[in-house]
Amino acid sequence: MNEYLPGLAGVPATQSNISDIDGENGILFYRGYPIEELAEYSSFEETSRLLLDGRLPTAAELADFTCQLNENRRIKFHTRGMMKNLPASGHPMEMLQTVVASLGMFYPGSDCLTGGDACRDLDYIHNTTVKIMARLPCIVTMWEHIRNGYDPIEPRTDLGYAENFLYMLNGKEPDPLLAEIMDVCLILHAEHTINASTFAVLVNASTLANPYTVMAAAIGALSGPLHGGANQRVLEMLKEIGTPDKAEEYVDKKLANKEVIWGMGHREYKTKDPRATILQGLMDKFMAARGGDLNPMFEVAKAVEAVCEDRLAKKGVYANVDFYSGLLYSEMGIPADQFTTIFAIARSAGWLAHWREQLSDNRIFRPTQVYTGEPRRSYVPISKR
């Protein structure tokens, strides 16, 4: 194949049985299970085990996996010391990429990946997966305190994954509804086929790079506004619009200038992103629990979505997962620049599932190119130029 397709659009890069998308009907499957069912009935820990192992765990397996995650949350003081020396003004995603990349120095052992049986040491793969998943939320919450001049809050082993994240972030046990909402948000963001950050995982994993470097590459890809960083931009956009009555003018101006409307459109979906539908429902549930006390930005968001649907539905452009996630996180008291780190925490499950899958049948990625440069020519000495 010599045809160049920008962005590798529609070009299969791998075979995978982890997740699938029916873009025409707006359905997302994890290992064959619709995301709606997992969001309603599962937990992030159970969904992660499903992604990693390919099947729903038994009660004993889930309890063991949860226990492993809970008991691997502590971070070495060297890492904390390094974080204290990072600029407090740095973006949390930059911090997360830096710290995760450094973990391979503190938790060595990836030598087992360099031999001919790279994919065979399943104990190493599993143990490393647990360490990474357990520590990402702790790193994120530690940074929130460190960058504000405070010592971080120690993790607890008696709280679930989402509960402990909110506890370490705020210093108090979360309201059960907030913990439930965060758990569902983590499930929704855990996996989404071969997107940019997951492709970064595959490429780096194929070189047998250590898993912390693999994760750091994925975090770097996720940080861009065209990928995970879009939810922060959505919130900024809604604040710029200000009130629902200004939504139509704003959208029409953006469309006329061919500018991005953050949170709208997805390369895979030709209808509304199923994750956006679930997030909107969570927003309604959250507001109902507060007695109908609506954040004005929620009304702005619904107005923007209505205008965009009127203007863009015929083109298959609808709200995506980023459109409501940032607004929901904001209502939970989470700083806007931490939205994408939550995305990374959740997506670690999918990334590590793809890391494991890549190692099981590995071949280094080496795509070709379409050369558009000069034909062969002779060197001209500098005195004759």
Structure confidence at residue 150 (pLDDT): 95
Q: What is the mean pLDDT of residues 2-22?
A: 88
| More confident position, 72 or 290 | 72
| Confidence band, pLDDT 50/70/90 cuts, at residue 344 | very high
Structure confidence at residue 257 (pLDDT): 94
With 70 as the cut, is the pLDDT of residue 170 above it? yes
Return the ∠ at Cα 221 (arms to 215 and 227), rounded to 5°: 125
Residue-by-residue DSSP string for 229-294: THHHHHHHHHHHH-SGGGHHHHHHHHHHTT---TTB--SS-SS--HHHHHHHHHHHHHHHHTTS--
CA distance 131 to 339: 22
Structure confidence at residue 115 (pLDDT): 61
> Out of 121, 183, 322, 354, which one is annotated catalytic?
322
How many residues does the structure list for the chain? 385
**C-alpha distances in Å from residue 217, one per residue of 49, 190, 271, 347:** 23, 17, 30, 13
| More confident position, 5 or 110 | 5
> Out of 192, 266, 273, 354, which one is annotated catalytic?
266
Structure confidence at residue 223 (pLDDT): 93
Q: What is the mean pLDDT of residues 276-296?
A: 85
Sign of CA dihedral 159, 163, 164, 168: negative
With 80 as the cut, is the pLDDT of residue 111 above it? no
Q: Which CATH number fits domain 230-331: 3.40.50.300, 1.25.40.10, 3.20.20.60, 1.10.230.10?
A: 1.10.230.10
| Confidence band, pLDDT 50/70/90 cuts, at residue 185 | very high
Whole-number percent of the chain with pLDDT over 70 = 97
Structure confidence at residue 123 (pLDDT): 87
| Confidence band, pLDDT 50/70/90 cuts, at residue 284 | confident
Structure confidence at residue 122 (pLDDT): 82
Provide the token pair at 298: 């929620």
Structure confidence at residue 93 (pLDDT): 96
With 90 as the cut, is the pLDDT of residue 358 above it? yes
CA 217 to chain centre: 13
Structure confidence at residue 52 (pLDDT): 97
With 60 as the cut, is the pLDDT of residue 1 above it? no
Structure confidence at residue 118 (pLDDT): 56
pLDDT tens for 122-155 read 888 999 999 999 999 999 999 999 999 999 999 9
Is 266 assigned a catalytic role? yes
Q: Which CATH architecture has domain 17-223+339-360?
A: Orthogonal Bundle (1.10)
With 80 as the cut, is the pLDDT of residue 34 above it? yes
Structure confidence at residue 226 (pLDDT): 80
Instruction: Give 155's DSSP letter.
Output: P
Q: What is the mean pLDDT of residues 332-356?
A: 95
With 90 as the cut, is the pLDDT of residue 3 above it? no
With 90 as the cut, is the pLDDT of residue 253 above it? yes
**C-alpha distances in Å from residue 47, one per residue of 43, 82, 90, 187, 188:** 6, 32, 32, 7, 10
**C-alpha distances in Å from residue 254, one per residue of 182, 193, 213, 235, 308:** 32, 30, 38, 16, 11
Structure confidence at residue 177 (pLDDT): 94
pLDDT tens for 54-92 read 999 999 999 999 999 999 999 989 999 999 999 999 999
Give the residue extent of every domain in the chain: 17-223+339-360, 230-331
| Confidence band, pLDDT 50/70/90 cuts, at residue 198 | very high
Q: Virtual CA dihedral for 162, 168, 174, 177, nearest 10 degrees?
A: -30
* Top mean-pLDDT range of 58-67, 70-79, 312-321, 354-363: 58-67
CA distance 313 to 331: 28
For residue 22, the surrounding DSSP H or E stretch is strand 19-22
pTM value is 0.92
pLDDT tens for 203-229 read 999 999 999 999 999 999 999 888 887
Summary mean pLDDT of the chain: 92
| Confidence band, pLDDT 50/70/90 cuts, at residue 356 | very high
pLDDT tens for 370-380 read 899 999 999 99
Collapsing DSSP states into helix, strand and coil, what is residue 143?
Answer: helix
